[in-house]
Structure 1
Amino acid sequence: MVGIEAEEKVEQSQQTRKRRRLTWDVAPSAEQPEAEEGENGRKRWALVRHVSPPRRDDDPEGHYVFSIGENLTPRYKILSRMGEGTFGRVLECWDREARNYVAIKVVRSIHKYREAAKIEVNVLQCLAKNDRGNSHCVQIRNWFDYRNHICIVFEKLGPSLYDFLKRTKYCALPVDLVREFARQLLESVAYMHDLRLIHTDLKPENILLVSSDFIKIPGCKTISDETNFRFLPKSSAIKLIDFGSTASDNQNHSYIVSTRHYRAPEVILGLGWSFPCDMWSIGCILVELCLGEALFQTHENLEHLAMMERVLGPLPEHMTRRANRGAEKYFKRSRLNWPEGAVSRESIRAVKKLDRLKNLISRHVEFSKSSFVDLLHALLKFDPSERLSARQALDHPFFKDPT
């Protein structure tokens, strides 16, 4: 009888603990109150109740409305807002179950963004399934649908390359650091292309530093003999994010893709697109990291094409002749209608400010780095069939000869 009673007490104790885990948890390090000294010098921590936040209407744009310190489901506590985009918001949260910090992408409660988020989840799961640990793609931890918002849980990473450039007042990065970023970016895109996936939205905003730590190094002296300082990432490790626009190579590719500054000419001309559109975007990104600013700063198609010709030479006639009806207006007898078709004198001046690619790069990279210019030209070929693939680019001399 004593044995049976003891077993019943153990069972009741276990049930009590199970019920308690549903509503209580030990406070994580980021939210712990002052520890109290208990018996034998042991510290006793306060318990935090997992209270669901009150239901609120979304804001007019469909964003989830929250307050810092609230729970996003009983598992995640909201610590801060890390960023915001057209898709929704990214929140820094404490994962009570895994006991670590995570970034949660909370997608707007609008149909098209929800559908894009579902695509992204499928892509992320595919990438994770085939990853051997060197894909340089962000890792999905979990996902759930909460109050009509798709929420995707990721490992917490550092700032984007765009945010880093912004913080450093758009200073050009050293070519050796650009090389390390380029290698990892090409490896991640090669991994995706091997899986027959096209990212379609490569840009500095979608490339995150793994760490937020920076180092401060002296720069050049000013006229007043004062030494300037510059900041560089402590680690060059990066990861690719945002797979909501990822497409399979067997889909219809007639629609417009890529953010404007990184959009390939075949997309603008309506010629269809495939894997090479990612390679064009990578070329634009590497130039931006080297210069500190976007290569093609424009918001209009004709001006964009004129900038391309200014930097890279004339568009091939076989491409201009096949331009779709929407792009025919940019040409006259198969030649770009520029500057006659410019919308303003400011537009003409913006194009004239640019120079040939080699000259632009040589202002920031010594002439001995000519292999870098050669790589850029190979990535920024007008004809997509002539562009290097990601695997081919990784074999380029730029990555083999650091001198």
Structure 2
Amino acid sequence: MVAVELEGVMMAEQRTRKRPRLAWDVAPSEPEASRPQLVVGNEGMARHMSPPRRDDDREGHYVFNYGENLTPRYKILSKMGEGTFGRVLECWDRQTREYVAIKVVRSMRKYRDAAMIEVDVLQHIAKNDRGGSRCVQIRNWFDYRNHICIVFEKLGPSLFDFLKRNKYCPFPVDLVREFGRQLLESVAYMHDLHLIHTDLKPENILLASSEYVKLPGCKRISSDETHSRCLPKSSAIKLIDFGSTAFDNQIHSSIVSTRHYRAPEVILGLGWTYPCDLWSVGCILVELCSGEALFQTHENLEHLAMMERVLGPLPDHMIRRANRGAEKYIKRGSRLNWPEGAVSRESIRAVKKLDRLKDMVSRHVDCTRSSIIDLLYGLLRFDPSERLTARQALNHPFFKNPT
């Protein structure tokens, strides 16, 4: 029998105190630990004390203490994560009596502007949602001491955090199937609304719940060590982080997506639209199956060489159309300048050690019983015009006829 762990998987950081019970388990009273003081106003009405005014830190992050208020409505319990945009705080919502996650954006103009775009996107998604978008729900937003604060439903850890906790042991293929179906549903929903997420990655896919079961015996292919591993009790996921989301009809920036999940048309400067999201989905599914990022690189030419090593040669018409910024990656307009243009011998070795996609996935999945390889090749086609759409991918036999 598997032992059910009562405490959820930690989010971006290890917490130094016991995690409060989840709002959907019980309807608790206000958390007792570090309850803010009450003061009495002139008319004898008790109110929650506001935190003293402090300067932001040098990067424009909001400075806070646990137990303080973020407006009288929200009590700060912990820091759940941090990024270039700002910080995500776990808070207690006194009005709805539930735990929420609040994204507190840095007090700099470009981040504030981006946050307001994200609010517009989130409201647009919510307005059209009939319960099947698989996108995180915005609850509220407000401007507090020059920080845009966006209130979300409280979710569990990201798929990346879960992989990391499992020492990068891959998920079972049946679980990858469930994750992939839901992810494609959210992408299809966004594309129907003419929205392109542009930053799909395991860090931006959150489990709906933190609860998990603990199982023995996960052996990494690259190691002789055997580790116990955790599996989420629920496969429900939601997509987050719409700060880089773009409408298809607006002017697009030249570079989008986090490096490991960036499509070839973006690197070659050919322009991008909906298919760049599907390339990212393909990279994500490989990572969930194998436990490791498909393209672990930080340099464009090496990245393109890795793509060719795993998937075969880039189409001639894409190489010929590469923009000026990408011409340095091309040799005489006909092929990649590889390995001649490699920055180091280590880079050449990193490319050489990669396997073909089928061999890579077959080490973790019985491909004689699963059509996942065919799905991955459809998502990872170099030519974006030939790549599967989200709706086409959802109709693939991998999802329709699981074995």
What's the TM-score once normalised by structure 1's chain length? 0.87
Runs of 5+ consecutive residues of structure 1 not aligned to the other structure: 1-26, 35-46
After superposition, what is the alpha-carbon deviation per residue over 1:282-304, rounded to whole angstroms, capped at 9, x for unaligned?
Answer: 00000000110100000000000
After superposition, what is the alpha-carbon deviation per residue over 1:156-185, rounded to whole angstroms, capped at 9, x for unaligned?
Answer: 000001111111101111000000000000
Deviation at 1:355, TM superposition (A): 0.7
Q: For the Cα contact (< 8 Å) 1:62–1:110, is it kept in 2? A: yes
AA aligned opposite 1:278: D
AA aligned opposite 2:289: C
Q: Is 1:78 matched with 2:38?
A: no
Query: Corresponding residue for 1:146?
Result: 144
Query: Corresponding residue for 1:18?
Result: none
Q: For the Cα contact (< 8 Å) 2:34–2:67, is it kept in 1? A: no
AA aligned opposite 2:32: E
Deviation at 1:326, TM superposition (A): 0.4
Deviation at 1:229, TM superposition (A): 2.4
Deviation at 1:28, TM superposition (A): 3.3
AA aligned opposite 2:320: R
AA aligned opposite 2:329: Y
Q: For the Cα contact (< 8 Å) 2:197–2:277, is it kept in 1? A: yes
Aligned pairs for 1:264-303 (under 5 A) are 264-303=263-302
AA aligned opposite 2:263: A
Query: Corresponding residue for 1:39?
Result: none
Aligned pairs for 1:237-386 (under 5 A) are 237-333=236-332, 334-386=334-386
Query: Corresponding residue for 1:30?
Result: 31
Larger RCO: 1 or 2 (CA < 8 Å, sep 6+): 2
Matches of 2:305 and 2:181, distance apart in 1: 30
SS at match of 1:106: strand
Deviation at 1:369, TM superposition (A): 3.7
Q: For the Cα contact (< 8 Å) 1:135–1:187, is it kept in 2? A: yes
Matches of 1:220 and 1:102, distance apart in 2: 34
SS at match of 2:142: strand
Q: For the Cα contact (< 8 Å) 2:176–2:289, is it kept in 1? A: yes
Matches of 2:103 and 2:375, distance apart in 1: 35
Query: Corresponding residue for 2:48?
Result: 50
The structure-2 alpha-carbon separation of the partners of 1:75 and 1:220, relative to structure 1 and needing over 3 Å to count, comes to closer
Deviation at 1:370, TM superposition (A): 4.2
Runs of 5+ consecutive residues of structure 2 not aligned to the other structure: 1-27, 36-44
SS at match of 2:358: helix
| Aligned CA-pair RMSD | 1.8
Structure 1 segments of 4 or more deviating over 3 A? Answer: none
Length, aligned pairs only: 362
AA aligned opposite 1:131: D
Which of 1 and 2 has greater Rg?
A: 1
The structure-2 alpha-carbon separation of the partners of 1:364 and 1:247, relative to structure 1 and needing over 3 Å to count, comes to same
Matches of 2:34 and 2:101, distance apart in 1: 23
The structure-2 alpha-carbon separation of the partners of 1:369 and 1:253, relative to structure 1 and needing over 3 Å to count, comes to farther
AA aligned opposite 1:198: I
Matches of 1:152 and 1:344, distance apart in 2: 44
AA aligned opposite 2:321: R
AA aligned opposite 1:322: R
AA aligned opposite 2:380: L
Matches of 2:317 and 2:34, distance apart in 1: 69
Matches of 1:221 and 1:58, distance apart in 2: 46
Q: For the Cα contact (< 8 Å) 1:361–1:373, is it kept in 2? A: yes
Query: Corresponding residue for 2:6?
Result: none
The structure-2 alpha-carbon separation of the partners of 1:73 and 1:355, relative to structure 1 and needing over 3 Å to count, comes to same
After superposition, what is the alpha-carbon deviation per residue over 1:267-318, rounded to whole angstroms, capped at 9, x for unaligned?
Answer: 0000000000000000000000011010000000000000000000000010
What's the TM-score once normalised by structure 2's chain length? 0.87
Deviation at 1:220, TM superposition (A): 5.9
Deviation at 1:48, TM superposition (A): 7.3
Query: Corresponding residue for 2:39?
Result: none
Deviation at 1:29, TM superposition (A): 3.4
Deviation at 1:216, TM superposition (A): 1.1
Q: For the Cα contact (< 8 Å) 1:254–1:273, is it kept in 2? A: no
Q: For the Cα contact (< 8 Å) 1:197–1:247, is it kept in 2? A: yes
Matches of 1:80 and 1:119, distance apart in 2: 26
Matches of 2:350 and 2:369, distance apart in 1: 27
Deviation at 1:115, TM superposition (A): 0.8
Q: For the Cα contact (< 8 Å) 1:254–1:271, is it kept in 2? A: no
The structure-2 alpha-carbon separation of the partners of 1:221 and 1:195, relative to structure 1 and needing over 3 Å to count, comes to closer
Matches of 2:318 and 2:242, distance apart in 1: 29
Q: For the Cα contact (< 8 Å) 1:138–1:155, is it kept in 2? A: yes
Deviation at 1:227, TM superposition (A): 7.9
Deviation at 1:251, TM superposition (A): 1.3
AA aligned opposite 1:75: R
Q: How much identity, in percent, do the aligned residues show?
A: 81
SS at match of 2:385: helix
AA aligned opposite 1:31: E
AA aligned opposite 1:269: L
Matches of 2:140 and 2:183, distance apart in 1: 24
Matches of 1:32 and 1:303, distance apart in 2: 51
AA aligned opposite 1:129: K
Matches of 1:89 and 1:277, distance apart in 2: 27
SS at match of 2:368: helix
